[in-house]
Amino acid sequence: MKQKNYKGWLYLLPAIVFLGIFMVYPLIDVIIYSFEEGYSFVTQTSNGTGLYNFRYVLHDTYFVQALRNTFIIVIITVPVSTGLALLISLALSSIKPLRNAFQTIYFLPYVTNTLAVGLVFMVLFKKTEYTDGMVNLLIHLFGGKTVDFIDGPYWAKMFVMCLYTVWIVLPFKILILTSALASVKEDYYKAARVDGTRPFRIFYKITLPMISPMIFYLVITGFIGAFKAYSDEVALFGTDLNSAGMNTMVGYIYDMLYGNSGGYPSFASAAALILFAVVFTITCINLMVSRNKIHY
Amino acid sequence: MKIRLEHLTKRFPNRNKKIKEDVIAASDLTFEIPDGKLIGLLGPSGCGKSTTLNLISGLETPTEGRIFFGDNDVTDVPPENRGVGLVFQNYALYPHLTVEDNIAFPLGNLRGKDKLTKEQMHERALNAAKLVQIDMLMERKPNELSGGQQQRVAIARALVKMPSVLLLDEPLSNLDARLRLQTREELSRIQHETGITTIFVTHDQEEAMSISDMIVVMKEGVIHQIGKPQEVYDHPDNLFVAKFLGTPPINVFEGEMKDGKVYIGDEAVLDIESRETKKVYVGIRPEGFIPTGDGALTAKLNKIEVMGRDTSIVAEHPAFLGTTIRAIVPSEDVEGISGETVRFNLKPKKVHLFDFETEKAINETGTEA
């Protein structure tokens, strides 16, 4: 018995060592930093312990701005992208000709580099000396006024941001949902048809419950992903997100660590812990709400 | 409800696109199913019996031909308006709904003046559940039920709408042997209690024979014989039907009709009236052999298998088509059989002759040679 135990631990050793060095140790370090006031990497010293870091971060207008941006992105993009992906998947699975072609097209954004996609969005939305961007050309066509989407009003920037996020997460969700829809057995639909079930009831009573685990998975990972948004913002608005007013929580943490203002690991750690608390809470709420609605 | 099929044909485009010819799943089916009977659609797999069932249910539309329920032509009526209950081979129970919700599901589709209240739905579901004896399992989910119970739920769901026709696709194939016996009697009981015209598809001839009022034997989309199980067994129209019905299967020999006798090899085994001379297949049911010391047919004895009530004699013969002859005889008749050879007399009623070219039955009642 004992020997078997040794063997088990031995097999686990590589994973444990790596996880320990690269996950557990930094995690503990972050927690320690967040309570050490004014810790400096250079001197390896701090001037006291306490909750000052948290107090500072929560009162920092840039952090509040980042928190608000993150929440707006999460609340808009997760439901919209999931709903849209479901609609597109349903459409895809109900057509036969060209289904594969469409599936490939919808999947393209997933394999495209974020920064390259950012460039495309620039062409669409960026106002330069030579052109107002393609979207503005369209707006002109319908008699509207030029909107500066990249350097203009907050709502315009947020609109582009959300559009971008939805577009970038859509392919993966469509991929998951089309395969989920395909896995629902044809017999269920046949049985429902013989019983004269109307399409909406079939969708609501059969399709939706059957793919509910997948939808739930997408919502959870969608929430977590959106809370961790950062690179997409950089792709659209550049690295100085604070002055663009489009910073996110991860962006704020990054800025605190390395950015122009640079070198405040304690504040960064505190902000990271706050982000963790938020994501954790939301995920728990998700799990509780969905417990009775998901049919595995 | 009486069901009549007229020249029903269903062709599918070939899946292999290089082959232009369509696959014919059902070919020119014409038959009538009397009201309130239990019908078995019987045939080997791929014979088009499930397609026929789907055509009757309306899930498939025929390429040609008409379907009548009573006097109404329902060929172009969508499945939900035909009043059919369909039980799928794998039951197709909704896994996320309880037994009660599964059974009541079809009732929730009713609209307008037919719309039911929650209480009415519950009552109807309960009645259907009682009929198949699962009313104590109403709160369970399908995955908490045994195969037999799931089967009953599926039947209850098909019956709850009070259909005029009940269709079952391989209803017993997913059950183990014991449960299959039990369930097929159950099926027969439910059918008698409700009096609903019931058609079930099976590849198991024993299943079909045991409970059907009438069987339809199909092969490659074509109907080979229709009739009462015993009649079809006793008077098969062709070699295929004779071979398909009965376990152990019929023993088929190459033989010859000559001078009012039937010959297998050099031995005259049966006297017949016809004096025609031609090659024939001689089919002998396993129970058609009488082992006697001076029997007309001599075969090489392989072994004797004791099965209790009956004994099975396994033998070989050069004119036999297949590997071994199997004769089922009462155990007390076997005494004294030993050695290299065994000799049989044949029961004329258990011997069937088929034309060597067309494989059609030759109507000759022979007498013992």
Is the per-residue pLDDT at A2 higher than 70?
Answer: no
Mean pLDDT across chain A: 86
For residue B117, count other CB atoms closer than 10 A to its CB. Answer: 8
- Of A150, A201, A120, A23, nearest in space to B105 by CA: A201
Q: Measured between beta carbons, which residues in chain B are less than 8 angstroms from residue A198?
A: 109
Write the residue in B80, B95, B161 that is nearest to A193 by C-beta.
B80
Contact between chains at A195 and B161 (C-beta distance less than 8 A): yes
In a domain, A219, yes or no: yes
Provide the 3-class DSSP secondary structure of residue A196.
Answer: coil
- Within a domain: residue A200? yes
Confidence of residue B368 (pLDDT cuts 50, 70, 90): low
Considering chain B, what percentage of its residues have pLDDT values greater than 90? 44
Q: Do A194 and B84 touch (CB under 8 A)?
A: yes
CB pairs under 8 A between A and B: 54
Domain of A67 in residue numbering reads as 61-290
Tens-digit pLDDT profile for residues B117-132: 889 999 999 999 988 8
Question: Are B58 and A194 an interchain contact pair (Cβ–Cβ within 8 Å)?
Answer: yes
| Residue at A1 is within a domain | no
Query: Which residue of chain A is at minimal alpha-carbon distance from B58?
Result: A194
Q: Is A191 in contact with B90 (Cβ distance < 8 A)?
A: no
**d(CA A209, nearest CA chain B) in Å:** 7
CATH number (domain holding residue A236): 1.10.3720.10
- Yes or no, beta carbons of B109 and A195 under 8 Å apart: yes
Q: How far is B53 from chain A (nearest CA, A)?
A: 12
For the segment B229-258, the average pLDDT, to the nearest whole number, is: 92
Domain count of the fold of chain A: 1
Q: Is the pLDDT of residue A38 over 80?
A: no
Could A195 and B105 be called an inter-chain contact, meaning their C-beta atoms sit closer than 8 Å?
Answer: yes
Question: How confident is the model at residue A262, as a pLDDT?
Answer: 55
Q: Any residues with CB less than 8 A from the CB of B209 and at least 6 apart, and which?
A: B40, B215, B229, B230, B233, B245
A234 within domain boundaries: yes
CA distance B78 to chain A (A): 8
- As a whole-number percent, the residues of chain B with pLDDT over 70 amount to 98
> Residues in chain A whose beta carbon is closer than 8 A to a beta carbon of chain B?
185, 187-188, 190-198, 201, 205-206, 209-210, 295
Of A185, A187, A194, the CB nearest to B80: A194
Residue A6 pLDDT = 85
The answer to whether the Cβ–Cβ distance between B80 and A195 falls below 8 Å is: yes
Q: How far is B125 from chain A (nearest CA, A)?
A: 14
Nearest chain A CA: its distance from B175 CA (Å): 19
Q: Which chain A residue lies closest to B96 (C-alpha atoms)?
A: A295
Q: What is the 3-state secondary structure (H, E, C) of chain B?
A: CCEEEEEEEEEECCCCCCCCCCEEEEEEEEEEECCCCEEEEECCCCCCHHHHHHHHHCCCCCCEEEEEECCEECCCCCHHHCCEEEECCCCCCCCCCCHHHHHHHHHHHCCHHHCCCHHHHHHHHHHHHHHCCCHHHCCCCHHHCCHHHHHHHHHHHHHCCCCCEEEEECCCCCCCHHHHHHHHHHHHHHHHHHCCEEEEEECCHHHHHHHCCEEEEEECCEEEEEECHHHHHHCCCEHHHHHHCCCCCCEEEEEEEECCEEEECCEEEEECCCCCCEEEEEEECHHHEEECCCCCEEEEEEEEEECCCEEEEEEECCCECCCCEEEEEEHHHCCCCCCCEEEEEECHHHEEEEECCCCEEECCCCEEC
**Residue B50: its chain A contacts at CB < 8 A?**
none
How confident is the model at residue A258, as a pLDDT? Answer: 80
Q: Which residues pair with B283 in a beta bridge?
A: B252, B352
| pLDDT surpasses 80 at A139 | yes
Shortest alpha-carbon distance between residue B106 and chain A (Å): 5
Assess if residue A136 is contained within a domain: yes
Per-residue pLDDT tens for A42-75?
A: 677 777 788 888 998 899 999 999 999 999 999 9
Q: Please write the tens of the pLDDT for every residue from B178-237.
A: 888 888 888 899 899 889 999 999 988 888 898 899 999 999 889 999 999 999 999 999
What is the mean pLDDT of the segment spanning A93-113?
84
Q: What is the largest CA-CA distance in chain A?
A: 80
Q: Is residue A246 part of a domain?
A: yes
What does the pLDDT look like over B74-115, one tens digit per residue?
A: 999 988 888 899 999 889 999 999 999 999 999 988 887 788
Mean pLDDT computed over A261-287: 87
Nearest CB to B109 within list A190, A197, A210: A197
Provide ipTM, 2 decimals: 0.80
CATH class of B3-241: alpha beta
Chain B residue at shortest CA distance from A190: B59
Which pLDDT score is estimated for B296?
A: 87
* B335-351 pLDDT, tens digit each: 777 778 888 999 988 99
Partners of A190 on chain B (C-beta within 8 Å) are 59, 86, 88, 92
With a cut of 80, say whether residue B158 has pLDDT above it: yes
Chain A residues inside the 8 Å CB shell of B109:
195-198, 201
pLDDT of residue A51: 86
To the nearest whole Å, the CA of A186 is away from the closest chain B CA by 9
| Residue ranges matching CATH 3.40.50.300 in chain B | 3-241
pTM: 0.78
> Does the pLDDT of residue A288 top 90, yes or no?
no
Chain B nearest C-alpha distance from A202 (Å): 10
Does residue B367 register a pLDDT over 80?
A: no
Contacts of B105 in chain A (CB under 8 A): 192, 195, 197, 205
Task: Examine residue A39 and state whether it is found in any structural domain, yes or no.
Answer: no
For residue B246, the Cα-to-chain-centroid distance in whole angstroms is 11
Selected for mutation to probe chain B from A195, A202, A210, A294 (highest B CB count within 10 Å) is A195
For the stretch A257-272, pLDDT in tens is 886 555 788 888 999 9
pLDDT of residue A261: 54
- What is the chain B residue with the closest CA to A188? B92
Q: Please provide the average confidence, as pLDDT, over all residues in chain B.
A: 88
Which of A191, A198, A295 has its CB closest to that of B96? Answer: A295
Q: How confident is the model at residue A90 (pLDDT cuts 50, 70, 90)?
A: very high
In a domain, A38, yes or no: no
- Residue B30, phi then psi, degrees to nearest 5: -135, 115
What does the pLDDT average to over A279-291?
Answer: 88
- CA of B87: which chain A residue's CA is closest? A191
